[in-house]
Amino acid sequence: MQINYGKFYSRHLGRDMEYKIYGTRGKPVLVIPCQSGRFYEFEDMHMLDVYAPYIEDGRIQVFTIDSIDSETIVGHGDPRARMCRHEAWINYIMEEAIPHFSHINTCANGWEIRFLVAGLSLGALHAATLFFRYPDVFDSLLALSGVYSTEYCMGGYSDDLTYMNSPQQFVAGMPVDHPYIQKYNSGRIVLCVGRGAWENETLDSTSKFAEILKSKGINAWVDFWGSDCRHDWDWWFVQAAYFLPKLLEY
């Protein structure tokens, strides 16, 4: 497997941002790390082992990036300033990282392909935010053990930026004839959560979000696993191995 390391200066964040690329061609996959996680988490925590067969046969090319959660929604200090920093990170992804990765992927494949975005735990919130805000860029979502509103992290603080980064809120606010809904339904959405240890908030949020998606006519596979399924890597390996091939079928 070809693995490449890179970094570039982000004008939105005012610093160098690092990344890794796994594979040489195939559907582009953007992986968001867990809370305050780094670009190398995907490899160090061995999630790469789950994705490896699809990377090696050229079906996917994986791009991993850094989060900055400790500066934003789980950080300290003025909540508005933290949300502005979070929005700057979203802008880094959409205006800097994605164009860079898409160019690499398009040159390898010969045509432009929309991304699958995947995230675990707090990374699932970010992955869902990207998918639902930018359906022209992302056509597939794999979100495991996520909360889908910043209210779970921001201590009740809310403003326009918490709304924009909380799919549980902004999807609820969409009219049922919003043009994005057709775009969502042209792709694939997987949300999964367990009923075991450390899944209380994620189970609550996933259940609420599932009802919102259903009310808007958005087709999503929302899977609730058993009481033995806890908020931890050993179960995320199993879930990713189960859902990833199904997301790649179409």
Whichever domain contains 84, its CATH number is: 3.40.50.1820
Computed on alpha carbons and rounded to an integer, the radius of gyration of the chain in Å comes to 17
- Residue 40 above 90 pLDDT? yes
- Residue 173 above 90 pLDDT? yes
Q: So what's the pLDDT on residue 250? A: 63
Q: Which of 245, 247, 239, 237 is nearest to 50 (CA)?
A: 237
| The total number of structural domains that make up the chain | 1
Q: Following DSSP, what letter does each residue of 7-22 receive, concatenated?
A: EEEETTTTEEEEEEEE
- Residue 146 above 80 pLDDT? yes
| Range list of H helices, 186-248 | 200-215, 233-247
Q: Which strand (E) or helix (H) includes residue 125?
A: helix 122-133
φ and ψ of 19, to 5 deg: -160, 170
Full residue range of the structural domain in which residue 47 is found = 3-247
User: 226 CB contacts (<8 Å, ≥6 apart)?
Assistant: 194, 195, 196
One-letter amino acid identity for 233? W
Q: What is the mean pLDDT of the chain?
A: 97
Q: What is the DSSP letter of 70?
A: G
pLDDT confidence bin for 212, thresholds 50/70/90: very high
Q: How far apart are CA 13 and CA 87, in angstroms?
A: 10
In the block, which residue shows the tokens 């969409």? 174
Reported as a single tens digit per residue, the pLDDT across 96-129 is 999 999 999 999 999 999 999 999 999 999 999 9
Reported as a single tens digit per residue, the pLDDT across 21-30 is 999 999 999 9
